[in-house]
Structure 1
Amino acid sequence: MKEPKFGIGQRCILISSFYGNILWDCITVLDEATVDFIKSRGGLAGIVISHPHYYSRHLAWAKAFGCPVYISSEDAHWTKQPDPLSYRRLIDERTFNIEILPDVRALKLGGHFPGSLVLSYDHHLFVADTLVTVPSALYSKGRPPGTTSFAFMWSIPNMIPLPPKVLFQMWMRVRDVQARVTHGAFVGQEVRDTDGGGPVMQRILESMKIQVRASGWTVEESLQVEEESGRGWDVPEILGEEWP
């Protein structure tokens, strides 16, 4: 994050893996101090951008570090700068799970944008606002049952939620991740297994169900499998309508 805050105060995250460094998301400001800092730690093997709100000056970052930038092909029409040196790597529409490095994977969940991504690394799930970390995710004292941790939004400023069909698609693509902590779009948006609210993957699933019910739908009890498996909604049906 830029200090003082620039734009809405969104952040990018430098991930240091055994196989190299990955930058998750991209902010507009790139100065010499930032370039020197990252290069002193080995540079970048790649940049992965969750969705178009972070595209900003991604080609300037790619040029500074001589690395590829991964974005979803569904959202590539939002890029406006020409890319004569071919830094962009488009994740094809039919690819939903891609290896960036041997220990880093990008998962295409869709939702907020058709190609919205999350990034999985060593039990960490970097979610930007593909999964919106809500204030009630960040406390544990006196936390009543049914308290949500995440929201799933088509438009965040206009408060337009995603429909159940899309939430089911997102869950099916992320459910096998063994995350113990999520990292949201802003500083301080970390949700952990150990913070008293329960396992984070279970909290993602429960938050989806809360949103479905709050939208006026009912998840049929007879169609749910054991919650401890973390795989509720394995049966793709809601109110008698099949989910894809």
Structure 2
Amino acid sequence: MQTSEDLLICTACGTQFDIPASNPPKGCRICDDPRQFVPPTGQTWTSLAQMRGKYHNVFTPDAVDKRMTSITTEPKFGIGQRCILLETAAGNVLWDCIAYLDEETVDFIKGKGGLKAIVISHPHYYTTHLDWARTFGCPVYVAVDDEEWFNRKDGEGVRRLFEGVTESVLEGVVAIKTGGHFPGSLVLLWDKKLFIADTLVTVPSALYHVDRPPGTTSFSFMWSIPNMIPLPPSELHKMWKAMQPFDFESTHGAFTGLDVRDKNIKARVLESMKIQARNEGWEDVAILKEKL
């Protein structure tokens, strides 16, 4: 395990900085951004070394497809998101990243065959990705649009910054740049599964499957999730045009349990975009004219 034990980590978002933990700055540039927030208790810091013995990672196989395993940290750390290990025919991919990495996690993933690639949805989940990439000897795919939010130098050249709307990560695994939450926000497509993090925010009513009343939404599309600032219809339309060419039958959100399986889920994404636009007060915008 090749980790940067004594580098600074923000306890609110999990971002690791090229700064010694013994010399913290006044604030975290990720949390100071209006998309995120500093907790009411104020800015606090830690490091991997300080986290040892206080945290552990939990591995939760998907209830339907055992090729997918959610990895989360307990007690909850930072935002509390999961990363998901995908065991594809072309090799293993880690979708998104979490800050805490320990020997148990390394052994678990190596026992599954290691990693061929890591793909990260957006800057809030960059966390300790250079440590993960160095430990598993694999590249990290991110959109070039968000490179300003890196907080560590990539001395070993593990980052793969792509510019187009799509990037083939491995055979059958495609990263799709939708933008929205961040200019380079991504989703990942594999085997008709769309891994959405919070590029598309899975809302509680998405999980309601029985006799869904007309107008029931499934997703929100947010510039800031914690501060509840929605995206405008122009951004929704850009996001839809990026996803429109692809077929998917399930979505898998940022947190454990946010898995929606429905052969009509693509229609529900579009419907949710229209619901949001209409309830923002728009009546004649491009997204409202889109059809499957």
Q: TM-score range by the shorter chain?
A: 0.7 to 0.9
The 2-side partners of 1:39 and 1:75 are apart by 29
TM-score, normalised by the number of residues in structure 2:
0.73
The 1-side partners of 2:206 and 2:115 are apart by 31
Deviation, structure 1 residue 220: 7.3
Q: Which residue of 136, 144, 153 corresponds with 2:222? A: 153
Q: Which residue of 37, 47, 50 corresponds with 2:121? A: 50
Deviation, structure 1 residue 68: 0.3
Tell me what 1:31 maps to: 102
Determine if the alignment matches structure 1 residue 175 to structure 2 residue 244: yes
Return closer, same or farther for 1:220/1:79 CA change in 2, 3 Å cut-off.
closer
Tell me what 1:233 maps to: none
Tell me what 1:237 maps to: none
Deviations 1:5-32 (A, max 9, x none): 2223210000111000000000000000
Identity of aligned residues (%): 59
Deviations 1:24-53 (A, max 9, x none): 000000000000111111110000000000
Tell me what 2:270 maps to: 205
Q: Which residue of 150, 153, 156 corresponds with 1:85? A: 156
The 2-side partners of 1:110 and 1:53 are apart by 14
RMSD (Å) for aligned C-alpha atoms: 1.5
Deviation, structure 1 residue 157: 1.2
Q: How many residues are matched?
A: 220
SS at match of 1:120: strand
Name structure 2 gaps, 5 residues minimum.
1-71
SS at match of 1:208: helix
Q: Which residue of 279, 289, 292 corresponds with 1:214? A: 279
Determine if the alignment matches structure 1 residue 13 to structure 2 residue 78: no
Deviation, structure 1 residue 224: 3.7
SS at match of 2:167: strand
Name structure 1 gaps, 5 residues minimum.
231-244
Deviation, structure 1 residue 219: 4.5
Q: Which residue of 61, 68, 72 corresponds with 2:139? A: 68
The letter of the residue matching 1:164 is P
Tell me what 1:234 maps to: none
TM-score, normalised by the number of residues in structure 1:
0.87
SS at match of 2:73: coil
The 2-side partners of 1:62 and 1:220 are apart by 42
Tell me what 1:117 maps to: 186
